[in-house]
Amino acid sequence: MNNKFKSLAAVSALVFLSACGGGGGDAAPAGPGDPADVPLAQAPALVQQYAALFNNARAQSRTCGTVQAPAVAPLTKWNAKMQQAAQKHADDMATNRFYSHTGSDGSDVNARNLAVGYQGTAVAENLMRGTGSPQAIVQAWMNSPGHCLGIMAGLAQSVAIANNGVYTVMVFGD
């Protein structure tokens, strides 16, 4: 199986990111990102902490469930608009006491990003309900096949992490 097909298979697997109890997530082919992307070093400290954990995981090939995921390039960018969309979703889940990739208004990750003006494409969205350190949350995602594939999505270049109480939202963009 060539790397291009493996990447396509991994992205296709992201369509169903419900191991955490959420609904299905949408994945789309990556595009040029967003002109407002900035280097990851300009991201808030929490985003940088998670990004370091994600990049450590992405640096090694691994098996996500039954799918072999090759090592992929590190995340290098952050986008304030994508961050805003992730935070709005975390806030929505906390305020309305639900847990899903579908917002209380019926939106999906791409619609939420478009609503704040993000011009890239969401490559993956992972959710977590519960408390724990960033290390514990990332480890839980790595132990879940769908979430692991989201983290290993080679098309992803940018990252946003939002939290509201027990709800954590990770979004990777192209």
First to last CA, the chain: 24
The rounded distance, in Å, linking the Cα atoms of 22 and 106 is 13
In 3D space, the residue among 170, 160, 151, 143 whose CA is nearest the CA of residue 72 turns out to be: 151
User: For helices 45-58 and 134-142, what crossing angle results, to 10°?
Assistant: 30
Using CA of residue 55, residue 57, residue 60, residue 66, what is the dihedral sign?
Answer: negative
Contact of 17 with 126, CB cutoff 8 Å: yes
The rounded distance, in Å, linking the Cα atoms of 141 and 144 is 5
**Percent of the chain residues topping a pLDDT of 70:** 82
pLDDT of residue 32: 78
Residue type present at position 5: F
76: buried, middle or exposed (CB in 10 Å: 19+, 13-18, 0-12)? Answer: middle
Query: For 63-76, what is each residue's pLDDT tens digit?
Result: 999 999 999 999 99
Average pLDDT over residues 99-123: 95
**128 pLDDT exceeds 90?**
yes
Element containing residue 22 per DSSP (H, E): none
Query: For 21-42, what is each residue's pLDDT tens digit?
Result: 333 333 344 467 899 999 999 9
Average pLDDT over residues 158-173: 96
The rounded distance, in Å, linking the Cα atoms of 4 and 154 is 10
**10 pLDDT exceeds 70?**
no
Tokens of 54: 């994600």
**15 pLDDT exceeds 90?**
no
How big is the CA angle at 128 (ends 141 and 11), to the nearest 5 degrees? 50
**60 pLDDT exceeds 50?**
yes
CA atoms within 13 A on the CB side of 135: 0
